[in-house]
Chain A
């Protein structure tokens, strides 16, 4: 591996003193390697796209270019089944996912930003200990405490039905709690880059902390909050494990739990419908990620990690 890497690194900086055939040879090699990587990377995606248009909808009969296509509407058989079959509440699941991911990410951003502002601007006792505890909490995966979380919602739901099992409220609450630590750290880093002079001059003019925060700082960090919010959104939208345990009622499922149900039992029958649903779910998320690339790199190398 390392030998190839080194060879390849060589390719990226060509030397004029090498002979022409050598350079051409290396370029051809480089091109072949790139083509291989693209095939490896994109084949599964092309395969899903092809499956979603395959009119028979089963895995056995799938070919890369769908066969048995008599007319164009035939191509959309799987989409038609996904969207119009009364047995498949696709819209309902999508709606659940959007509500849960939307509410969670907005609340995560609002609540975490308040904390991040405090950690970034104020100096108080236990500040350092609190920050470190938050860092430690963040590394323990929520799903390990799944039994405890399940029981908690069970007990809570007895008295506050809004937060019980099978509710939006319960799952949203768990997502918010789980997303808090990481996002406080992320945002604190960004808040630290906003010059302090801004707050100080406002304070001298007699503004309260709340006024400073809402009127001055908040607009300045808004683009960053948007990125953190969108990452939280995709994170909760894609989350599957907690959703599967905490939402047992088919009507309350999120899209990911629903998609999983297509291929859970007999794999090949619902393959086409699964592919169509996966594509519809993945396209907006992929576009978001491509759009956010450079911010993600910035955020990640600043000390945070995509989980």
Chain B
């Protein structure tokens, strides 16, 4: 296409050929991406999902800039990853923040445009509407179809939720077979009536349903939207439902609401209600305390045991390496599998651990009913997961400590105790410190172990919808709020909690930045 531009690269003055968009093929590819993106963005925008549409357009604009401006060529290599991250990580993150400020929940699950569209699809059989006489057909697969004759004598052939097309009679008679369907007559016709009574033939404006043994009626649109009045009319009852854009409902004069609401911004209401619940009820404080406790205690205990294991098993003997390998297995087993296995083993009625303890001591701790025992069990299981991981890393760290410094310490008269505290631990912490913080962040968001072992239970009395348990952490509580079966799902409130978790995790990450060299590493490489 264009001549290759030449520019002095950063790599020490060597002449570097810049790759512009060199072929018609690349332009064609860009054009295809643009066309697809525009189609997607416009379609989604028309549904009222403006944020998603804007995210798509921005990403598209960025791709075009990077591809078309020669000076941005290094970014071309990054653009696929960047586009994916923008759409799949950054956009959901920002959108979560947005949802946190809405009343998005069961009953308010659509945009206003979508809600009106959905209601417009609902039909009813008006009194005195268009009527037909009907005959029923069936094909070999057992599907039904209707032959309809309207008052003017015109014939139509309609299949369920599908086509409704004009048809012509066969010498003034309804044909006995049509398009692979066969006419049902006599008793067969009446037996079919039972099944087709609830079916809708044709679709949209042409929808027809069987009303009686002789008559079929045309449906009419039930909910009609008037944009000027910003109101819906229920044609069946002739009631006008006015849109209330503060609550996201269509409200009738008598206070009834239309069956589908839409979501609207509610400002800081969700955050307010989180603060209210926290202040009045208190469970959220407990959830928060347990989240922090578990994150710290779980990570540190796993590190301590892992380091202990590494110290005991330190050495090059074959049997030591074998034991180390065996002990890594718990870390490698898929997390879900191990949580469920532990759940089974701790089960109060049939689990092996209570059973064995009962056999030996005649008593077993009430793991799933007593809050403290439940927490203890969770920490224990966490040790099982976490310690092998730290053992793996600590073994590596221990081997990298030169033995000469221990000899020097011994000469200086330092005992084992001092050697561990003054030398081994600090040196191991240098390389493992960031990983401990990362583990704390991970355990802060450890959903698996909380939900997996006891479903957050035992429940805290007096909490409902969703119930909060003694071993719930923030993320399991949030997840239950948004996705629990049964009860109202309040996505807005769940997102508000997610935003709070985002902020805490973000703060922890900044701490990690300070403690590790990550920041400096980046700077020195620039």
Contact = CB atoms under 8 A, between A and B. Distances in A.
B87 to A, nearest CB: 7
A65 interface: no
B65 interface: no
Interface in B200-245: none
Interface stretch (B168-176, B281-289, B474-482): B474-482
Given A114-B77, A136-B509, A290 B311 contact: no
B438 A5 contact: no
B392 A293 contact: yes
A4 interface: yes
Interface string A52-68: 00000001101000000
Q: DSSP class of B's interface residues: helix, strand, loop or mixed?
A: helix
Interface stretch (B121-129, B329-337, B462-470): B329-337
Contact of A196 (B11, B78, B84): B11
Interface in A78-129: 111-112, 114-115, 117-119, 121-124, 127-128
A24 interface: no
Interface in B504-521: 505-506, 509, 516, 518-519, 521
Interface string B79-95: 01110110111111101
A306 interface: yes
Interface string A38-61: 101110110110000000000110
A145 B445 CA distance: 13
Contacts of B516: 303
A181 B336 CA distance: 24
B523 interface: yes
A130 B78 CA distance: 10
Interface residues of A, number: 114
B435 to A, nearest CB: 6
Contacts of A47: 341, 345, 352
Interface stretch (B130-138, B247-255, B264-272, B493-501): B493-501
Contacts of A41: 326-327, 329-330, 384, 388
Contacts of A156: 40, 44
Interface residues of B, number: 121
Q: Which of A11, A12, A281 has the most CB of B within 10 A?
A: A12
Of A10, A41, A267, A296, most B-chain CB atoms within 10 Å: A41
A81 B313 CA distance: 41
Interface in A277-291: 278, 281-282, 285-286, 288-290
A155 interface: yes
Contacts of A11: 312
A135 B518 contact: yes
Contacts of A289: 328, 331-332
A13 interface: yes
Interface string B343-360: 111010111100000000
B505 A180 contact: no
Contact of A181 (B89, B421, B447): B89
B31 interface: no
Nearest to A268: B350
Interface stretch (A69-77, A197-205, A218-226): A197-205
B92 A149 contact: yes
Contacts of B384: 40-41, 44
Given A159-B39, A260-B340, A122 B81 contact: no
B431 to A, nearest CB: 5
B337 A147 contact: no
Q: Which of A115, A147, A260 has the most CB of B within 10 A?
A: A147
Given A40-B384, A286-B332, A118 B312 contact: no
Which 3 residue pairs across A and B have the least CB separation, nearest first? A177-B88, A289-B332, A118-B77
Given A140-B93, A158-B43, 13 more contacts: A1-B304, A37-B312, A60-B349, A119-B78, A128-B526, A143-B445, A152-B92, A177-B85, A208-B17, A240-B448, A256-B334, A285-B333, A303-B521
22 contacts: A1-B305, A5-B304, A5-B307, A9-B416, A10-B420, A38-B327, A41-B388, A44-B345, A59-B350, A114-B77, A115-B77, A132-B519, A137-B89, A147-B96, A148-B91, A158-B47, A174-B88, A178-B88, A200-B12, A204-B15, A267-B344, A286-B329
